[in-house]
């Protein structure tokens, strides 16, 4: 059987995960989510003509004669004032930044150009009509499509929605991802280790990756290599999660709990032409999409990067699901298995002529090398050797 290509498995994973439903979510839950429909402005911004300066609302014509001129201050308008008196010719009204401009005024003179008086004010400059008035609709016209579907909601977009008076926005919700690690050798960090045991690390790494991608992670610590325990662990979550991601138990050994538990379900196990991350499974378990990643920590994390992260981003409606990439030259030579895309860990240094230094070897147990790297170096399937100085594609991880 020929191995599955990286592209084929990516496609399968993306199809399984699908699209999350659209919900109207409160703005404070929308950061980083994707707008699912255009936002039509329900009001104009600014909603009314208002002052850009602390000063005096005036008629420009009253300052057109000899300067300085002294005029009576007929009213005082703080920001937030809702009732206004029309400006009578030959008078001014003291006005604050953001306060509504009274009918009859056609300019604001800033306080620095006056003596700051409260009964009468002496004004030392003339102004053109419109000076320091922020006209209603200057920024947004009521009825405008101010934010279009597909926009990623960042602080500025959420600020604009608030300014328009919107409390909720239509977005595709975050996928809820159950992370389940398997292995009888695993021990929870903080507990004592017996000989032959190791601390469990994939769960934390994958759950953090889900959160970094914008999903909600439920980290079910881990189960031993026991099929019944595997089914029992998943049962309480089946109605409430969108995706199950497992790690471990999928290769060729005698105790492959994930393979054994899911063999009778609609899950296809395959070898993908990549290294690390070769053994993969994908399908559904009791109606829930399930992605089974290999247990070696670097394999699990690279699998997440290559298959799961893009699928989660797509499920939320993101158009851009790829990490940014760059071309760089490798500082040392590399070898790579024939017929497999290799993802080596690297340290990319843009400041020194876009070079990348491999960190650690190809072994998929080398977690500290992954932790010291900031990119993956992609070696194409048909390349088995790269000389120092060769050009490669790097996939930035941060
Ligand atoms: N005869 C063969 N053996 C193996 C093959 C193969 O094709 N034929 N493939 C190798 C490759 S490649 C990988 S990757 C692994 C995948 O193995 P599993 O998915 O079954 O994972 P495990 O055997 O459970 O664990 C592998 C390794 O990783 C450690 N591990 C597992 N889970 C965690 C965790 N949550 N936290 C930290 N470390 C974990 C585990 O202790 C093992 O050392 O199979 C190869 N073998
Ligand atoms: O291909 Mo396994 O996934 O590295 O060590």
Q: Where residue 352 sits, what CATH number does that domain have?
A: 2.40.340.10
Does 259 lie in the same domain as 357? no
The reply to whether 26 and 167 lie within a common domain is: yes
Ligand 2 midpoint to CA 297 (Å): 9
User: Are the CB atoms for 363 and 340 separated by under 8 Å?
Assistant: no
Q: Does residue 213 share a domain with residue 299?
A: yes
Distance CA 359, CA 347 (A): 7
- CA dihedral (203, 209, 214, 219) in degrees, to 10, reads 0
**pLDDT, tens digit (0-9, with 9 covering 90-100), for 31-69:** 999 999 999 999 999 999 999 999 999 999 999 999 999
Ligand located closest to 364 CA: 2
Residues 228 and 117 in one domain: no
198 close to ligand 1 (CB < 6 Angstrom) = yes
In a domain, 241, yes or no: yes
| 397 contacts 386 by C-beta, under 8 angstroms | no
Chosen domain end from 286, 315, 344: 315
Q: How many Cβ atoms sit within 10 Å of the Cβ of residue 143?
A: 11
Flag whether pLDDT at 353 surpasses 90: no
Q: Which two tokens stand for residue 46?
A: 């600014």
Report the atom number in ligand 2 closest to the C-alpha of 294.
3
End residue of a domain, out of 81, 106, 134? 134
Q: Are residues 180 and 192 in the same domain?
A: yes
Q: Determine whether 159 is exposed, middle or buried from the number of CB atoms within 10 Å of its CB (0-12, 13-18, 19+).
A: exposed
Structural domain tally of the chain? 4
pLDDT band, very low/low/confident/very high, at 1 (cuts 50, 70, 90): low
Atom in ligand 2 nearest the alpha carbon of residue 279 = 3
Ligand 1: which residue has its CA nearest to atom 25?
295
Domain range enclosing 381? 325-396
Of the residues 315, 336, 356, the one at which a domain ends: 315
Q: What pLDDT does 243 receive?
A: 98
Pairing of strands 55-58, 22-26: unpaired
Which mutation among 294, 363, 366 tests ligand 1's pocket best, with the greatest number of atoms within 8 A of CB?
A: 294
Residue 1 covered by a domain: no
Same domain, 344 and 234: no
Ligand 2, pocket-test mutation among 202, 278, 360, 366, most atoms within 8 A of CB: 278
Closest approach atom of ligand 1 to CA 185: 41
Give the integer Cα–Cα distance in Å for 396 and 319.
18
Residues 195, 303 within the same domain: yes
In a domain, 84, yes or no: yes
pLDDT 10s digits, 114-142: 999 999 999 999 999 999 999 999 999 99
For ligand 2, whether the C-beta of 278 sits within 6 Å is yes
Question: pLDDT higher for 147 or 249?
Answer: 147
Task: Ligand 2 pocket test: pick from 270, 296, 339, 344 the residue with the most ligand atoms within 8 Å of its Cβ.
Answer: 296
- In this structure, are residues 46 and 134 in contact, taking their beta carbons and an 8 Å threshold? yes
The pLDDT > 70 percentage for the chain reads 100
pLDDT for 37: 98
Looking at the domain assignment, is residue 268 inside a domain?
Answer: yes
Ligand approaching nearest to the C-alpha of 220: 1
- In this structure, is residue 320 part of a structural domain? no
Run of H or E residues at 204: helix 202-212
Q: Are residues 15 and 28 in the same domain?
A: no
Residues 239 and 111 in one domain: no
State the complex-level ipTM.
Answer: 0.98
- Examine the pLDDT at 352 and tell me if it is beyond 90: no
**Domain CATH code at residue 295:** 3.40.980.10
Res 255: pLDDT: 79
Q: What is the CATH number of the domain that holds 39?
A: 3.90.105.10
- Do 383 and 367 share a structural domain? yes
Question: Do the domain assignments include residue 144?
Answer: yes
Residue 83 has pLDDT above 90, yes or no: yes
CATH number at residue 122: 2.170.190.11
Whether the CB of 183 sits within 6 Å of ligand 2: no
CB atoms within 10 A of CB 34: 21
The reply to whether 59 and 97 lie within a common domain is yes
294 lines ligand 2 (CB under 6 A): yes
* Cis geometry, peptide bond prior to residue 52 (ω within 30 degrees of 0): no
* pLDDT tens-digit series, residues 249-285: 998 777 789 999 998 999 999 999 999 999 999 999 9
Q: Rounded to two decimals, what is the model's pTM?
A: 0.93
- Ligand with an atom nearest the CA of residue 275: 2
330 lines ligand 1 (CB under 6 A): no
Same domain, 30 and 166: yes
Evaluated on CA atoms 261, 265, 270, 274, the torsion sign reads negative
What's the confidence (pLDDT) of residue 225? 83
- If you measure from the C-alpha of residue 180 to the centroid of ligand 2, how many angstroms do you get, rounded to a whole number? 19
Q: Is the peptide bond before 276 cis (omega within 30 degrees of 0)?
A: yes
In a domain, 220, yes or no: yes
Q: Residue 296 CB: number of other CB atoms within 10 A?
A: 23
- Which ligand ends up closest to the CA of 251? 1
């Amino acid at each position: 059987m020929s191995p599955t290509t990286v592209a084929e498995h990516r496609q399968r994973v993306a199809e399984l995960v699908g699209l999350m439903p659209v919900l109207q979510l409160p703005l404070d839950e929308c950061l980083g989510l994707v707008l699912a429909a255009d936002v039509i402005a329900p009001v104009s911004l600014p909603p009314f003509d208002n002052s850009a300066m602390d000063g005096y609302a005036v008629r420009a014509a009253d300052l057109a004669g000899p300067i300085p001129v002294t005029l009576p201050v007929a009213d005082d308008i703080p920001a937030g004032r809702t009732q206004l008196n029309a400006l009578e010719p030959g008078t001014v009204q003291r006005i604050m930044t953001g306060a509504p401009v009274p009918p009859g005024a056609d300019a604001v003179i800033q306080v620095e150009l006056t003596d700051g008086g409260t009964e009468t004010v002496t004004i030392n400059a003339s102004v053109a009509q419109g000076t320091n008035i922020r006209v209603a609709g200057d920024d947004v016209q009521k009825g405008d499509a101010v934010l279009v579907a597909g926009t990623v909601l960042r602080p500025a977009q959420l600020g604009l929605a608030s300014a328009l008076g919107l409390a909720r926005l239509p977005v595709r919700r975050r996928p809820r991802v159950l992370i389940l690690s398997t292995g009888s050798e695993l021990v929870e960090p903080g507990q004592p280790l017996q000989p032959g045991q190791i601390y469990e690390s994939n769960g934390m790494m994958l759950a953090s990756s889900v959160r970094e991608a914008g999903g909600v992670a439920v980290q079910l610590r881990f189960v031993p290599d026991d099929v019944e325990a595997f089914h029992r662990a998943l049962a309480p979550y089946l109605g409430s999660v969108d995706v199950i991601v497992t790690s471990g138990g999928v290769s060729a050994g005698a105790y492959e709990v994930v393979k054994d538990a899911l063999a009778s379900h609609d899950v296809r196990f395959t070898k993908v032409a990549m290294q690390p991350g070769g053994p993969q499974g994908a399908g559904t378990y009791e109606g829930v999409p399930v992605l089974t990643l290999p247990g070696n920590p670097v394999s699990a994390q690279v699998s997440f990067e290559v298959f799961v992260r893009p699928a989660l981003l797509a499920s939320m409606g993101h158009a851009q699901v790829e990490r940014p990439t760059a071309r760089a030259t490798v500082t040392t030579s590399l070898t790579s298995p024939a017929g497999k895309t290799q993802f080596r860990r690297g340290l990319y240094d843009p400041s020194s002529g876009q070079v990348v230094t491999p960190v650690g070897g190809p072994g998929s147990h080398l977690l500290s090398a992954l932790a010291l790297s900031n990119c993956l170096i992609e070696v194409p399937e048909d390349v088995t050797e790269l000389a120092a100085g060769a050009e490669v594609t790097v996939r930035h991880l941060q």
